[in-house]
Amino acid sequence: MNCNLSDNQKSIKIMLVGEGGQGVQTIAKLLAKAAFAKDYHTSYIPNFGTEQRGGISIAFLQVACEEIVSPKFVDPNVFIILSSRDINRTLRYITKNTTVIYDKYLVKKEIVEKLKKQSPTVVGVDAFELATEKLSERSLNILILGILIGFVDCTLIEKITEIMDKKFQKYYDKKPELKKLNHEALTLGLNLTTA
Amino acid sequence: MPQKENRQFLQGNVVAAHAALAAGATHFYGYPITPSSEILETWVNLVGDPAKPNKSPVTKEPLQYLQCEDEMTSGFAMIGSCLAGKKAFTTTAGPGNILMQDAFSAAEALRIPTVALIMQRGGLSTSTVIYSQEEVTLTCLGGNGEGFRVVYSPHNIQELYDYTIKAFNTAWKYRYPTFVLGDGYQGKMHGEVNLHTMDPKSYVKPKPILLSNKGKNKKSVNLRNCYDQEEEIYEIIEKYRKDFARDSKKIAESESLFLDDAESVIISHGIVSTAAKEAVGRLRKHGQKIGFWRPITLRPIDLPGLLKAVKGKKEIIYIESALGQLSRLINDELMSSNDNRVRNVRIKTMFKPALGISPRDITDFISKNVS
Amino acid sequence: MSARRRPPKNKSSQKNSASNSVLPSFPKCYKKNSKPHKFCPGCGHPIVLKMLGQAIDELKIQNKSVFLIDIGCSLLAWDFYNIDTTQTHHGRTIPVALGFKRANPEAVVIAYLGDGGAYSIGMQHLVHATLRNENITTIVVNNMNYGMTGGQMAPTTITEQPPTTTAPFGRKEKYLGTPLKGPEMLEKIGVPGQYIARMSVDVPPQLKLTLKKALQHQMDKKGFSFVEALSYCPNNWKTNAAETIATLQKAKQEFPTYEKEL
């Protein structure tokens, strides 16, 4: 197996925090499937409330070079947050070693202050703004997926594109411009992390 | 022995449905409830168009399903199909599990080999759709019965697949209602699994319980579920008790690690035991003499395995996503021992009802609470 | 409630009764060593069961029938026939029956239950079995009260009958609701082709004919068939023979004879 996780890590634990409808679970699943296809050991747990839309939505994702014993964790390497909702529920997961990425538009200032108390590495990104200005609001999750790839293994982008295109083919059939939007979003996101 | 390899990355509920297929199940009855609904949905897809359904890879009979009006129907229709000699199963969670206990009690009373896949959601009552280990008591001892049931508690997706296959064979071999007790994490998570085919040697062929004998001068089977006198039902229960004690020796399973030099032993089950396993590995690296034991069957408990794990140890530490539903089952067994080396073991508990438990939660707890 | 049993007949007299036909003979599908049956004197169940037994004999389906019964007085028939039997409760007999039928379509599957199981605690099963047109035969014995639990009000209790223990002033509909009419309700939701009937126990030959039609309907794979047998419960009604018949006559106003192939 070709282990090529960023920063020579043996495993990466990612927590994605958003709200229902943002596509948090979709991108976690896409990334997990691509990593598995590239022979990584992978596990993904979705975690959401009773609402189909709008409630807090969390994904626990692990990509590793060795077998994953326990799928649940409280010490993510990467914590990505796209919503100000229910923050107290997820703050406890951030450790001093966690890299926290928040969206500058979607996450309120007072929340960012709370995040900064948990970890020295808290980085704001203009994902929502970039997505809405250059692409469309609905590209936000794919852009975030691009960011995520940077944290896991940049070479996954081809596999992810392949799986993503297959998954969204029926939407592409109706709206052909969507495919280009998705590809651009992915690259835009990836560029944000590598920059 | 695992047969043909077929490694995939799938959702737990999808895996459970594929396991039922590989086990030779043909009939499914269910009612949607989170976090178990994808088992129903996956089985529906496996059946295909009901007008020309796909066939079981094991029995070559057409597959069937019914989305019922409620959980009582799911449970009792499953009983009906099992009485007719088909491997039928159902799935549920939480409040649905409560309703279905009606049918499970009947299956227990009539010794009907049913299989139910339970994905525990948060208690109490409606609560969350996410996760807990709070349906242990209900699944093991629910209904107005005595718990003559087999309950497997798999700890990862591969085991969810393997023990679901095993559940069908155990149910039909010993004629007990049999359960695979998963949880919302296991049901909803994606993980790696080898969807191997069933070892044909392990396959237990189903036989009709009613209409089994179509001969001309047949004697009818009047399968009784009501009794006039307390002595009558007492005799039946006594017989079941003896049967269950005898069969338990063959059914009960557990897993242990690092027991030889361990001073403390962590006892957990299901997905929590994966966190415990990883935590024990980390603690061992720091020289902590800690061991690991988990029941794979919650009903019956592997008593010899348990006694071996506990005897002479300083303490046991129960770790559960419930307020002691597992520990009550185990303590009960320990109290039945006359050996002081078992009875004098100290007990510590880390109970996080309805909350997921990670390896770090456990190592933090151990370093604070265990010397 | 106690079943008052007649002293068991000795073997030779039973043999005689069967051979010389002085006494009415048992249907062939009866389980003889379970007789005398366990029902109260004057109960309507044995009439329904005897007519069902004759129907089964005439259709020659004893060896391919499954007789599924419910909690309540129907469970006293758990070993009534030399036919494979089991029993559950609360109307779940209908799910057991449809589960059996779906697994063994060649079997003739009979769900036999009371008005409490079918019309109250297990009503959803009856409704959805009808909607799905399950190919089973459901027989509901309506004796307008809960017999085995001691004569409480049932969904079918009518104002004109003797008071029940939980409606001691009679069923005042303003306070206690309106009696449920099974066949009339099913007609509203039924699927074309279904056989739905009501017959009372005071006309046994017609009752037998109705039961036979319902079973034949299932054997012809024509879908759900349903018979309500309007019955009596003198033990709980606390009526003598004449009063029992009079009450049944009043009940027939409320629950008239009914037969429809939808």
Q: What is the mean pLDDT of residues A13-35?
A: 95
Question: Per-residue pLDDT tens for C185-238?
Answer: 999 999 999 999 999 999 999 999 999 999 999 999 999 999 999 999 999 999
B151: which 2 tokens?
């309950």
Judged on CB neighbours under 10 Å (0-12, 13-18, 19+), C173 is exposed
- Cα C203 off chain centre by: 14
Residue C166 has a pLDDT of: 96
Contacts of C44-47 spanning 24+ positions with Cβ under 8 A: C44/C141, C44/C143, C44/C201, C44/C229, C44/C231, C44/C232, C44/C233, C45/C73, C45/C74, C45/C76, C45/C77, C45/C141, C45/C231, C47/C201, C47/C204, C47/C207, C47/C231
On the question of pLDDT at C90 being above 90, the answer is yes
Q: At what angle do helices A157-174 and A24-37 cross, to 10 degrees?
A: 130
DSSP calls for A113-174: HHHHHH-S-EEEE-HHHHHHHHS-GGGHHHHHHHHHHHHH-GGGHHHHHHHHHHHHHHHHHH
Nearest 5°: phi and psi at C99?
-65, -40
Q: For B46-97, write each residue's pLDDT tens digit.
A: 999 999 999 999 999 999 999 999 999 999 999 999 999 999 999 999 999 9
Between CA C201 and CA C213 the distance in angstroms is 16
B106 occurs within a structural domain: yes
Provide mean pLDDT across the span B241-248.
98
In C, residues 107-126, which contact B (CB 8 Å cutoff)? 107, 122, 124-125
Q: How far apart are CA B178 and CA B166, in angstroms?
A: 10
Q: Express as a percent the part of chain C with pLDDT over 90.
A: 90
φ, ψ at B89 (rounded to 5°): -150, 170
Give the DSSP per-residue string, C33-53.
Answer: GG-S-SSPTT-SHHHHHHHHH
pLDDT value, residue A137: 85
The answer to whether residue B344 sits within a structural domain is yes
What are the tokens at B19?
A: 């396991």
Alpha helices in chain C (DSSP H): 11-20, 45-59, 93-103, 115-116, 123-131, 173-176, 182-189, 204-219, 234-237, 241-254
Domains of chain C: 27-261 (3.40.50.970)
C259 touches chain B (CB under 8 A): no
Does one domain contain both B260 and B332? yes
Residues B24 and B108 in one domain: yes
B74: in domain: yes
- Nearest-neighbour CA in chain A from B124: distance (Å): 15
Query: Which band of pLDDT confidence, cut at 50, 70 and 90, is reported for residue B219?
Result: confident
C28 touches B at CB < 8 Å: no
Give the whole-angstrom CA distance, residue A121 versus residue A104: 15
Give which of C254, C126, C138 is closest to C195, Cα–Cα: C138
Summarize pLDDT for A6-22 with one digit per residue, the tens.
888 899 999 999 998 89
3-class secondary-structure state, position B47 = helix
- Helix extents (H) in B197-255: 230-251
C96 touches chain B (CB under 8 A): yes
ipTM score of complex: 0.96
Say yes or no to pLDDT of A174 above 80.
yes
Q: What is the mean pLDDT of chain A?
A: 92
Residue C79 is classified by DSSP as: T
Instruction: At C145, give phi and psi (nearest 5°).
Output: -160, 170
CATH number for B137: 3.40.50.970
Mean pLDDT throughout C73-100? Answer: 96
* Edge-to-edge strand ranges of the sheet holding A122-125: A122-125, A99-103, A78-81, A11-19, A56-64, A41-48, B190-194, B7-11
Residue A195 confidence (pLDDT):
64
| B277 contacts chain A (CB < 8 A) | yes
Q: How far apart are CA A138 and CA C114, in angstroms?
A: 58
The C-alpha of A15 sits at a distance from chain B's nearest C-alpha, in angstroms, of 14
CA–CA distance, B51 with B49 (Å, rounded to integer): 5
Q: What is the CATH number of the domain that holds B297?
A: 3.40.50.920
Exposure string over A164-173, b if 16+ CB within 10 A, otherwise e: beeebeeebe
DSSP letter string, A9-22? -SEEEEEEEEETTS
Do B189 and B329 have their domain in common? no
- A interface with B, Cβ–Cβ < 8 A, is 29, 32-33, 36-37, 41-50, 68-75
Say whether the peptide bond before residue C36 is cis (omega within 30 degrees of 0): yes
- Amino acid code (one letter) for A88: N
Q: Select from B156, B190, B275 the Cβ nearest to the Cβ of A29.
A: B190
Together in a domain, B36 and B170:
yes
Residues B264, B369: Cα–Cα separation, whole Å: 11
Mean pLDDT of A43-70: 89
Q: Which two tokens stand for residue A139?
A: 């590209």
CB A62 within 8 A of CB A71: yes
d(CA B297, CA B174): 15
Other CB atoms within 10 A of residue A21 CB: 13
DSSP C84: E
Cβ distance of B188 and A45 shorter than 8 Å: yes
Cα angle B330, B333, B339 (rounded to 5 degrees) comes to: 120
Q: Which of B47, B70, B72 to mutate to test the interface with C (most CBs of C within 10 A)?
A: B72
Cα angle value C35/C87/B94 (rounded, 5°): 165
Average pLDDT of every residue of chain B = 96
Q: Are C97 and C109 in contact (CB under 8 A)?
A: yes
- Cβ burial of A115 (10 Å; 0-12, 13-18, 19+) is buried
Q: How many Å apart are CA B85 and CA C102, to the nearest integer?
A: 11
- Which residue is closest to B185 within chain A, CA to CA? A45
User: Does B240 map to a domain?
Assistant: no
CATH code for residues A6-194: 3.40.920.10
Least confident of A51-60, B60-69, B265-274: A51-60
Query: What per-residue confidence (pLDDT) applies to C83?
Result: 96
pLDDT at position C13 is 46
- Strands C137-142 and C145-146, bridge-based pairing: unpaired
Instruction: Count Cβ atoms below 10 Å from residue A92 Cβ, excluding itself.
Output: 9
Per-residue confidence (pLDDT) for residue C12, from 0 to 100: 47
Q: Nearest CA to CA, how far is C32 from chain B (Å)?
A: 12
Dihedral of CA atoms A147, A151, A152, A158 in degrees, nearest 10, equals: 30
At residue B221, φ and ψ (nearest 5 deg) are: -95, 110
**B47, B79, B209, B222: best to mutate for the C interface, most C CBs within 10 A:** B222
Render B262-314 in DSSP notation, one character per residue. -SEEEE--HHHHHHHHHHHHHHHHTT--EEEEEESEEES--HHHHHHHHTT-S
For residues A171 and A177, give the distance between their C-alpha atoms in angstroms, rounded to a whole number: 10
Closest to B210 measured CA to CA, from C87, C131, C155? C87
Confidence category of residue B6, pLDDT binned at 50, 70, 90: confident
The CA-CA-CA angle for residues C118, C121, C125, to 5°, reads 55
Point out the least confidently predicted range of B211-215, B347-351, C49-53, C211-215.
B211-215
Per-residue model confidence (pLDDT) at position C16: 46
Q: Which whole-number Å values give the CA distances from C204 to A183, B101, B156, B331, C232, in the listed order?
A: 78, 40, 61, 61, 13
Say how many domains are in chain B.
Answer: 2
Q: Give the CA diameter of chain B.
A: 73
Of A161-170, B168-177, B334-343, C247-256, where does mean pLDDT reach its minimum?
B334-343
- The answer to whether residues B36 and B179 belong to one domain is yes
B131 with B61, same domain?
yes
Write down the pLDDT at residue C5.
Answer: 52
pLDDT value, residue C15: 47
Chain B residue with Cα closest to A36: B9
CB-based contact, C235 to chain B, within 8 Å: no
**pLDDT score at C6:** 54
Q: What pLDDT was estimated at residue A124? A: 95
Is position B11 within any domain? yes
Q: What share of chain A is helix, strand, coil (3-state, %, to 5)?
A: 50, 20, 30
Residues B194 and B271 in one domain: no
The pTM score is: 0.94
Q: How far apart are alpha carbons B241 and B247 in whole angstroms?
A: 10
Give the model's pLDDT for residue B260. Answer: 95
Q: Please state, for a pLDDT cut of 70, what percent of chain C lies above it.
A: 91
Its domain, for residue B301, covers 254-369
If we measure between CA atoms, which residue out of A106, A11, A127 comes closest to residue A61? A11
